[in-house]
Structure 1
Amino acid sequence: MYEKRLRKSRNRKIFGVCGGIAEYFDIDPVIVRLIWAIAICCFGTGLLLYIVAAIVMDD
């Protein structure tokens, strides 16, 4: 049985966080990157969450 795990993507742009989230939910990484960019620009907390995710997520 295959167990889904949230981990960084091997296809990295910066830390692989968006790619890993996209692989986990089986969607296009560009969509996740756009959502993350909007969160950073509009809400300001996206950058802090990205750094925390980069530290916490497995390689």
Structure 2
Amino acid sequence: MKKLYRSVTDSKLTGLCGGLARWLNVDTTLVRLLVAAAAVFSFGTVLVLYVIGSVIVPKESYGGFTDGFDY
């Protein structure tokens, strides 16, 4: 099972969207657009969840692999 980590190499703010895109195996730009649209239409609820997720989700190691296995 793949674990969710914040991306070190594909980050704009905290790396959460980059890590989520890698975890879901989709394009990072798509995840960022969905998060931005959801933040506008949810009146800020998604922004609060983004901040909470950025605090809770651990950052990956600098090599891009956290446990030595490439999923």
Q: Distance in 1 between matches of 2:24 and 2:50?
A: 17
> Which residue matches 2:31?
32
Unaligned runs of 5+ in 1: none
Query: After superposition, where does 1:1-59 map in structure 2 within 5 Å?
Result: 3-10=1-8, 11-44=10-43, 45-59=45-59
Q: Tell me the TM-score normalized by structure 1.
A: 0.91
Q: Tell me the TM-score normalized by structure 2.
A: 0.76
Larger Rg: 2
Off by >6 Å, runs of 4+ in structure 1: none
Identity %: 33
Number of residues of Structure 1 aligned to a counterpart in Structure 2 = 57
Q: Distance in 1 between matches of 2:41 and 2:24?
A: 23
Unaligned runs of 5+ in 2: 60-71
Q: Which has the higher helix share?
A: 1
Q: Distance in 2 between matches of 1:58 and 1:43?
A: 25
| Aligned residues: CA RMSD | 0.8
